[in-house]
Amino acid sequence: MSDLFLDLTFSLLQTLFMLALAPLIIGIIRKVKAKFQRRRGPSIIQPYYDLAKLFHKGSSQSSTVSWVFHIAPYVCLGAVLVASLMVPFFITNTLGVIGDLIVVVYLLAMVRFFMTLAALDTGSAFGGMGSSREMMISAIVEPTMLLAIFTMALITGTTILSDISFNLASTGLDLVHPSLFLAAAAFFVCLMAENARVPFDNPATHLELTMVHEAMVLEYSGKSLAIMELASWTKLVLFAALMANVFFPWGIATEVTAQAIIMGIVAILGKVVLIALVIAVIESSMAKMRLFRLPNLLTVAFTLALLGVLSYYIL
Amino acid sequence: MNEQALTGVINGLAAFILLTAFVMVSHNRMNQLVRTFAIQSIALGAFAFAVAYYTGSDHIYVIAVLTIVLKGIVIPQFLKYTIDKIHVRKEVEPLVGIPLSLLLCAGLVMVAYYVAEPIIAGADAVTRNTLAISVAVVLIGFFLMITRRKAMSEIIALLVIENGIFLGAISITYGMPLIVEIGIFFDVLVAVLIMGLFAFRINQTFETLDTTFMRRLKD
């Protein structure tokens, strides 16, 4: 019983940690991109100010919207937070008992589903366009993500995310398998696609020809926009945590001691910031792809994940 | 280096070679195709090095060096030179769309695994598992050859098939005798030179490298 209590405490702590960290990571990405463009850029804590400002503003919306539009931000943020209860962040004690990797992947699918529904609900042309594009991308991303994490489940012999990182972190290098790298590469492409980063979508654009994610949250304002933004930023940190802890979990705390936990916090902060830097470098060095070229890149990622599973059996 | 780490390196390089084969299927520019072929050949050379270190046999070292020099540097440079020389459109123009070809190639990998499994079961070499990968690379090479129109990309497809066969030879027998390998390398080099010249002539005669035009040639 106390074990469950410990898991509950730690998973709540980790969820709060991810939520609090999310704007900072976005701030870091924006700062690095600004440096690449030889701008000074806003301070890395600017996203916190933005959120605070949005929370204090009133929101206005179209008169035709239904209840879906009103509840969507809460559903999105709620689903992301529930998913992050099951994802290890700095320690492998999480609420794995309530759900494994499939639950996490489909909670994230629920976020996407409600976002597209809300965008369709407003009846604006941009919303419909954004939703159809988002669905086109996610149709390939979802199986890729599942296959990539399944590869890790095969290697470690469990589908519970925290057990995957526990097994990998405690066994050391013996479990490293070529398919780990294939799956990690596939998952990284999913990370970029799901979080609307550059080769797939431009997070800074409001140009109707190119926007995908921005088109969907275009009708939101004030508090609901703040919640929507916070949900998608937390989703980015959640993906970074999945990338760091499912594929390269070394350094994460596997036991409840102060030393291990401090070590785990330092390790995960380092890894998440590293992933943020990689994203910023990729965004600064690549142009957004044409929408009809996206299936090519996504199918490459899908094949990578499939190869990961296949090469687990072959090699 | 202990044996387990070495096996890991060998398997990892084999997976990387398979990966480059898939990357080649996804390319739509000829320059990219040549570059990825060069990377694949260098990985193949590294694979041969690892096997040579494992078995301690000298002639595989020679083969590894030859692979890197010939297939990793000389042949790609020659192909690049030819592509620059004949000012054709650089797109590859596959007959099957890229997403579909990637999925078909994933299917080919499964076929390769199914075919190679009985052989793997009876073998005891450290590299036995890479046989399935070598069969897969050969099949992907065939697939590249039949779905590309330009003569230049067909030459690269032939080289991919050759890489696959080379990988297979190393993985089941730890390489053929040195004299045979050197003969094969010489053949490949000459074949590529001659095919490069042919591509040049095809381009001169038809003003394109599209080989579908050549089907109309009749007496």
Per-residue H/E/C for B64-79? HHHHHHHHHHHHHHHH
DSSP states of A23-55: HHHHHHHHHHHHHHTT-----TTHHHHHHHHHH
Q: Which of residues 59-98 of B touch A (CB under 8 A)?
A: 98
Furthest C-alpha separation in chain B: 64
* Measured distance CA(A199)–CA(A287) in Å, rounded: 6
Measured between beta carbons, the chain A residues lying within 8 angstroms of B11 are: 177-178, 315
Tell me which of B2, B10, B16, B19 to substitute to probe the interface with A (most A C-beta atoms closer than 10 Å).
B19
Local confidence band at B46 (pLDDT 50, 70, 90 cut-offs): very high
Reported residue count of chain B is 219
Residue with tokens 């609307």: A196
User: Hey, are the CB atoms on B22 and A313 less than 8 Å from each other?
Assistant: no
pLDDT recorded at residue A141: 92
Q: Is the dihedral of CA B58, B62, B65, B71 positive or negative?
A: negative
Residue with tokens 């900072």: A24
Residue B4 pLDDT more than 90? no
- The residue-averaged pLDDT of B183-210 equals 83
* Measured distance CA(A168)–CA(A184) in Å, rounded: 14
Domain regions of chain B by residue span = 3-214
Residue B215 pLDDT more than 80? no
User: Hey, are the CB atoms on B16 and A307 less than 8 Å from each other?
Assistant: no
* Measured distance CA(A271)–CA(A309) in Å, rounded: 25
- The residue-averaged pLDDT of A132-157 equals 91
Q: In whole angstroms, how far apart are CA A189 and each of A186, A239, A282, B12? A: 5, 11, 11, 20
- The residue-averaged pLDDT of B183-191 equals 88
Q: In Å, how far is B16's CA from the nearest CA of chain A?
A: 8
Q: In whole angstroms, how far apart are CA A135 and each of A90, A115, A116, A119, B100? A: 32, 11, 8, 12, 19
Least CB-CB distance to A299: which of B11, B103, B109?
A: B103
Amino acid at A307: L
* Measured distance CA(A260)–CA(A91) in Å, rounded: 8
User: Hey, are the CB atoms on A307 and B103 less than 8 Å from each other?
Assistant: no
DSSP states of A245-290: III--TT-B-S--HHHHHHHHHHHHHHHHHHHHHHHHHHHH-PPPP
pLDDT recorded at residue B125: 66
Q: Which of residues 273-312 of A touch B (CB under 8 A)?
A: 295-296, 298-300, 302-304, 306-307, 310-311
Q: Which of A213-217, A298-302, B140-144 has the lowest mean pLDDT?
A: A213-217
Q: pLDDT tens for residues B75-112?
A: 999 888 888 887 766 677 778 888 889 889 989 988 99
pLDDT recorded at residue B90: 65
Please say whether the beta carbons of B48 and B170 come within 8 A.
yes
- The residue-averaged pLDDT of A307-311 equals 86
Please say whether the beta carbons of A215 and A129 come within 8 A.
yes
Least CB-CB distance to B102: which of A299, A311, A314?
A: A299
Please say whether the beta carbons of A233 and A131 come within 8 A.
no
Q: pLDDT tens for residues A30-54?
A: 999 999 999 998 999 999 999 999 9
pLDDT recorded at residue A1: 47
Three-state DSSP state, A307: helix
pLDDT recorded at residue A77: 95
Local confidence band at A250 (pLDDT 50, 70, 90 cut-offs): confident
User: Hey, are the CB atoms on A315 and B11 less than 8 Å from each other?
Assistant: yes
Please say whether the beta carbons of B29 and B92 come within 8 A.
yes
- Report the share of chain A in percent with pLDDT over 70: 99
Residue A243 pLDDT more than 60? yes
* Measured distance CA(A122)–CA(A103) in Å, rounded: 29
Q: pLDDT tens for residues A65-76?
A: 889 999 999 999
* Nearest alpha-carbon partner for A26 in A285, A288, A306, A280: A280
Q: Which of residues 124-183 of A touch B (CB under 8 A)?
A: 174, 176-179, 181-182
Residue with tokens 């933005």: A50
Residue A233 pLDDT more than 70? yes
Secondary-structure breakdown of chain A: helix, strand, coil percentages, each rounded to the nearest 5: 75, 0, 25
* Measured distance CA(A210)–CA(A287) in Å, rounded: 12
Measured between beta carbons, the chain A residues lying within 8 angstroms of B16 are: 178
In B, minimum Cα distance to A175 occurs at B8
Tell me which of B3, B9, B11, B92 to substitute to probe the interface with A (most A C-beta atoms closer than 10 Å).
B11
In A, minimum Cα distance to B114 occurs at A314
| B208 Ramachandran zone, left/alpha/beta (phi>0; psi -120 to 50) | beta
Residue B1 pLDDT more than 60? no
Q: In whole angstroms, how far apart are CA A315 and each of B144, B164, B190, B192? A: 24, 16, 34, 32
Please say whether the beta carbons of A271 and A191 come within 8 A.
no
Please say whether the beta carbons of B214 and B202 come within 8 A.
yes
* Measured distance CA(A4)–CA(A95) in Å, rounded: 8
User: Hey, are the CB atoms on A182 and B19 less than 8 Å from each other?
Assistant: yes
* Measured distance CA(B134)–CA(A141) in Å, rounded: 29
Structure tokens at A46: 């600017």
Three-state DSSP state, B61: helix
- Report the share of chain B in percent with pLDDT over 70: 95
User: Hey, are the CB atoms on A315 and B130 less than 8 Å from each other?
Assistant: yes
Which residues lie closer than 8 Å to A3 by C-beta, 6 or more apart? Answer: none
State the virtual CA torsion across A300, A301, A302, A304 in degrees, nearest 10: 90
pLDDT recorded at residue A177: 81
Local confidence band at A99 (pLDDT 50, 70, 90 cut-offs): confident
pLDDT recorded at residue B89: 62
- The residue-averaged pLDDT of B58-73 equals 88
- The residue-averaged pLDDT of A235-259 equals 89
DSSP state of A253: B
Residue with tokens 């070495």: B6
Phi, psi torsion values for A210, nearest 5 degrees? -110, -20
Amino acid at A312: Y
